[in-house]
Chains A and B, each alone.
Chain A
Amino acid sequence: MAGIFTAAAHIPYLKIERKTIGGAWERGAQKGCRSVAGSDEDSLTMAAEAAGAALEAGGREKVQALYFASTTAPYREKAAAAMLATVLDLGGNMETLDLGNSLRSGLGALKLALDTAGDGKVLVASGEKRIGYPRSDQEQLFGDAGAAVLVGGGDAPVAYLGGYAVTDEITDVWRTQEDTYVQSWEGRFVTGEGYLRVTAQAVKGLMSQMGLKPEDIAKAIIPAPDPRSGMGILKKTGLSQAGEAVDSQLEQVGFCGAAHPLVMLAAVLEQAQPGEKILVAAYGDGAQALLFEVKSAPALPAVSVAQQLAKRGELKSYARFLSFNGLVEPQPGEPFRLVPSATVTWRERDSLLRCRGSKCQVCGTAAFPIQRICDHCRSMDQFDTVRLSSMTGEVFTFSRDNLAGRPDDPVIVQTVVQMENGARFYGLMTDADPNQVDLGMPVKLTLRRMHDLGGFHNYFWKCRPVR
């Protein structure tokens, strides 16, 4: 029987208080805060962070497929899953597939993985960064996050028991190809005839199919577009107790669309006890519900959701929030003297995307990016490549440049990092309070969207403090 080895979530470093958003419009605010993707994050980079953590926890061997799910993929035409497989430094001889257009695509990708894993492993990754209209409730309620689930057959510690699906065509919440913002029909129709009715149908259908009573379910993960609907669906399905058993900490993140059920699953698995049955559902033009049983404690990512939530930076400016979402265009900064090149990015993908450095076979000197000639002993073409993205490092030196960043995110921490294998990474730091940076600070590498030049997104690695 297929099951889950591990799940990981990436909660962006930045949060914004909902009252900051409401206050900007001189209107009321929902409670708490929501997560905000940094100016260098998108659905792909957030998924990559989570997927990297899942692979480190669950093991990267035998991964035969990678599915990426999002309604906000960075490209309309170009596979994010292929880029993800590359930045995760997985083999080329594997299946990759993007799933999108539906808030059910995250859970749907997980179901597809469970159905197809066989003896190997399948990695499901999702990232989401949906944009609500300025001044809307959604602007406050949405959150940005990434998640990943590592699935496989055989002895996976969290067994998949069964699923139930409902398809139900309805124009309740949508974005056309041209829309920036999420559109929706009248609220009572959306909630009553859409979310509540159809989600309940799937959840109840699954319980009936599996012969389960509400008290048999220890944890019910039923993502909701708003807290009120969330309580409503638990009441309607009789799962209030199982729903309340799920830590409500993700209220401090917001509703993360297609990624949300997987983000919640990662948080729940951190607390999972053997014998517990976990129900996960997702809604969108129908609904899907899956049932799992915890057989033994799953592998856990190095950094928990709670730890991520405890270490966040606050975005205090609504103007910067708008700018990070691409909704206002601040005054341009200094020009780039960088030449975008799809050819260079492709040719140097082992360093630029796979984050591999070289280690000299003759003298052992490690370097990043890959060097054909060793800087120390000048041996040519005698090196092994080594993945740096799995390692930690320490800040060797740094500076804080106040003028080099984007106008809406101006401070750049140039950093030289001493990696644990002796290589030096020379790049930028992200997800940090620049004033807290110091020598010896432990850091990890993280894939980020550097800039858009040449009409495409240029991704590369930065360092960030260990959370």
Chain B
Amino acid sequence: MNALALHRDAIVIDEVRLDEARRIAGAVVDPEIPVLSIADLGVLREVRLNDGRIEVLITPTYSGCPAMTMIALEIELALEQAGFGPVTVATVLSPAWTTDWMSEDGRRKLTEYGIAPPVRGAGRRALFGAEEVACPQCGSLDTSRLAEFGSTSCKALWRCNACLEPFDYFRCH
């Protein structure tokens, strides 16, 4: 135990290693949507050194998203396995996460996975408003909402009127 602690104390992390830690942390995937990494989602905010230790800052998506605990554990595990010693994962609330932070790569991967990506700048405040969502299967805009709430907090259930397939839509937040 003491030997291990000494060994950990001896870890020196330079900029190159820090970049590697960023890459490893960013590659952790969302347990609910395994095609998206937390870098794609914009959940990973920063990886930095704090008193010689790696500190990872993440931001929650939805207030009650149960995946956040899982994501924090996965980050700790991935970095420890890569030899970064014990790391801390902290949550930052501000600025509040928005689906606008999702990367282009992430949006493409979502569509390929069969989930329509969030429509940018959609009028989420309209009391009885309508959004225009493209079907991830056939690309048609002739779609309709079946239910605003889907299998996870971040998804709604839609249907394509052209190809008749139901699909998940990643809601704007």
Partners in one complex: no
